Amino acid sequence: MRVPSDQKRSAHSPMKSIAKILVALLILFSVSCKKDLHNTPIGIITEGIAPTHASVVYSVLSSYQLLSSTLNIIGNWGWDNGTVLRNDFILQDIASGDMQKKWNPDGDQAWMDQFGDFSFTASNPGINGQWSYDFDGVSRSNIAIGYLTDDKLTASLGIDDASKKYLLGQVYFLRAFYYFDLVNLYGDVPLLLAPLKSFADAYSVAKRETKANVYIQISKDLDLAKGLIPAGKYSDAVQKWRVSQGAVMALQAKVALYNQKWSEVVTIVTALEGLNYYSLNANYFDNFSVAKEYAENEVILSYDHESLTTPRTGNGLCALAGWGFIAPTTNFINAFEPNDPRLNYTVDVPSQNVYKFFGELNSNNKGNDDAPSNKIYIRWADVMLWKAEALNESGSYSAAIALINTVRQRARLSVNALGNYPPSGTLPDRNGLSTDKAQIKDWLVQERRVELGFESQRFNDLKRWSLAKTFLTSIGKNFQDKNYIYPIPQGEIDKSGGSITQNAGY
């Protein structure tokens, strides 16, 4: 993902005075960015600066960047506003009770600890940071969509129809992805579908749209993306990290899952199975290994971190690990059945190494702020368990159990982190004859936790299952009903003059 810095500057040009006023009026916040990325706040197309072929192409690449764990994408060590890096691991893994901030608790970045005990307020940096990353991603996507849906512009720049469709499909997907994260975190959110060009535009978007209507837009974007992105496991034979048809279908299935449209989940995942793009890797850790990136069978959507690029695109989470951040809770460790290889592949407790983030079974990337290990968003085991859940909810119990057992089988047949096979009897199959829906659901809940640990899925799972309060209070967390959604960042409410309202209880 190497892009010359002169192309990056051409994509966004300075107009700071007007931009700051616009930002104060609406949900698009002022972002203090690295000069190599952009100098104007997101969502603003500067008048008088003609886009080039390079800047239009770069606008699509720029829309991917907010998926990364690279440090300082939209800030310069902005710990106080939560923008040092993307905060999924805080708002999902720490909040779920699986992760704690540090191996040795201390007062460093105490705002992160507030997600572990649910003492955060609307002014917490993590609340602002995730909002900032997702809306920056939405706004960059809107800029790209604005360019690519302008037929006169693309014709004048010599962008052929096939390239235009492919680029456009990617940013429709990305906008849907960012909005999917936003509605699950914050509920009703402002719905931005075009770049902002005027004060009138600014005022018009400074309000919240219902979650249901945002989901309608997400589905529209995904339908458009599916029709524009070419078929194949990889949409680009060289740049395999780009959004694929499989990624679009997988997110469609996840949207259906979160809306409890069980038959739709089954239909989409079955269609995806029929394409034969994906299967479980023989070894669990192949999903995360740097050496196996884009040469394995399971990963559907990931962000391609690379070392030694200009500007940097490495995995900054590894730097945090080197500073003592990112540790498992005792409850998470105890959730694994005896000899389950997935525990040590996720985190080596004695050595305090988070192998899943490092991409290697050693500490070479510990402390490396430019590590090449990818961030995985969707993989096949996750999708299989979506289908298992939908089947169980639909009464197809044996089929649901079979999928759960397939995931367990892969785990027990994986050589562990020490190079040994687990002993006989590890992770035995669940009873395939069971018709106890609640029992099967319990098996599914357990399997998703250990299979997808530290992959920022658990808190959303607990919420959509309506298990968050029961589970988190059982382990001593002060989870309240209001915590099923996070508060809107207080700064955004203040900048909107109150036209953006706060979630109940905050």
pLDDT in tens, 433-453: 999 999 999 999 999 999 999
Q: Which of 198, 229, 260 is the last residue of a domain?
A: 229
Instruction: For residue 113, give the nearest of 100, 97, 96 by alpha carbon.
Output: 100
Mean pLDDT throughout 52-63? 97
Query: Residue 102 has what pLDDT?
Result: 98
**Distance between CA atoms of residues 218 and 177, nearest Å:** 8
Q: Is residue 468 part of a domain?
A: no
Which helix H or strand E contains 301, and what residues bound it?
A: strand 299-303
Which helix H or strand E contains 102, and what residues bound it?
A: strand 99-102
Burial-class residue 464 by CB neighbours within 10 Å (0-12, 13-18, 19+): middle
Vertex 184, ends 271 and 469: CA angle to 5°?
A: 110
- State the chain's mean pLDDT as an integer: 91
Do 62 and 194 fall into the same domain?
yes
Confidence tier at 455 by pLDDT (50, 70, 90): very high
Cis omega before residue 230 (within 30°)?
Answer: no
Domain tally, the chain: 2
**Distance between CA atoms of residues 229 and 173, nearest Å:** 10
Q: Is residue 137 part of a domain?
A: yes
Q: Is residue 376 part of a domain?
A: yes
Query: Residue 360 has what pLDDT?
Result: 98
Do 249 and 208 fall into the same domain?
no
Residues whose CB is less than 8 angstroms from the CB of residue 204 and which lie 6 or more positions away in sequence, other chains included: none
Q: What is the DSSP letter of 109?
A: T
Q: Is residue 477 part of a domain?
A: no
Confidence tier at 48 by pLDDT (50, 70, 90): low
Do 402 and 296 fall into the same domain?
yes
Residue 345 and residue 287 in contact, taking contact as beta carbons nearer than 8 Å: no
Q: Which of 22-26, 68-72, 234-238, 426-430 has the lowest mean pLDDT?
A: 22-26
Residue 149 and residue 61 in contact, taking contact as beta carbons nearer than 8 Å: no
From residue 57, alpha-carbon distances to 42, 144, 164, 287 in Å are 17, 8, 9, 29
For residue 152, give both structure tokens: 């006169």
Q: Which of 8-17, 170-179, 269-278, 420-429 has the lowest mean pLDDT?
A: 8-17
pLDDT reading at 324 higher than 50: yes
Q: Looking at residue 253, which CATH number applies to its domain?
A: 1.25.40.390
The H helix count followed by the E strand count for the chain is 22, 4
pLDDT reading at 237 higher than 80: yes
Domain that holds residue 362: 230-456
pLDDT reading at 46 higher than 60: no
Q: Residue 303 forms beta bridges with which residues?
A: 375
Q: What is the DSSP letter of 326?
A: E
**Distance between CA atoms of residues 336 and 338, nearest Å:** 6
Residue 2 and residue 13 in contact, taking contact as beta carbons nearer than 8 Å: no
Residue 173 and residue 20 in contact, taking contact as beta carbons nearer than 8 Å: no
Q: Which of 229, 245, 261 is the last residue of a domain?
A: 229
Which helix H or strand E contains 303, and what residues bound it?
A: strand 299-303
List helix spans (H) across 206-360.
Answer: 211-228, 245-258, 262-274, 317-322, 330-334, 341-346, 355-358
Q: Is residue 380 part of a domain?
A: yes
Summarised one tens digit per residue, pLDDT across range 74-115 is 989 999 999 999 999 999 999 999 999 999 999 999 999 999
Contacts 24+ apart (CB under 8 A), 351-358: 352/103, 352/327, 353/321, 354/321, 354/326, 354/454, 355/285, 355/288, 355/417, 356/288, 356/453, 356/454, 356/455, 357/315, 357/317, 357/318, 357/321, 357/326, 357/454, 358/318, 358/321
Q: Which of 159, 194, 229 is the last residue of a domain?
A: 229
pTM metric for this prediction: 0.91
For residue 221, give both structure tokens: 């974007």
Do 102 and 52 fall into the same domain?
yes
Q: Is residue 419 part of a domain?
A: yes
Do 225 and 235 fall into the same domain?
no
Vertex 143, ends 142 and 145: CA angle to 5°?
A: 60
Cα-only R_g, the chain: 22
Please, how many CA atoms are within 13 Å of residue 200, restricted to the half-sphere of its CB? 0
Dihedral angle sign, alpha carbons of residues 83, 89, 92, 98: negative
Query: Residue 197 has what pLDDT?
Result: 79
pLDDT reading at 198 higher than 80: no
Q: How much helix, strand and coil, in percent to the nearest 5, is found in the chain?
A: 50, 5, 45
Q: Is residue 62 part of a domain?
A: yes
- Strands of 371-449 (E only): list them: 375-379
Do 239 and 192 fall into the same domain?
no
Do 245 and 152 fall into the same domain?
no
For residue 493, give both structure tokens: 């409410």
Instruction: For residue 91, give the nearest of 186, 178, 179 by alpha carbon.
Output: 186
**Distance between CA atoms of residues 204 and 195, nearest Å:** 12
Do 196 and 296 fall into the same domain?
no
Mean pLDDT throughout 161-183? 98
Query: Residue 288 has what pLDDT?
Result: 98
Do 34 and 53 fall into the same domain?
yes
Do 197 and 338 fall into the same domain?
no
Do 27 and 143 fall into the same domain?
yes
Query: Residue 407 has what pLDDT?
Result: 98
Do 176 and 298 fall into the same domain?
no
Q: Is residue 491 part of a domain?
A: no
Summarised one tens digit per residue, pLDDT across range 346-357 is 999 999 999 999
Query: Residue 10 has what pLDDT?
Result: 32
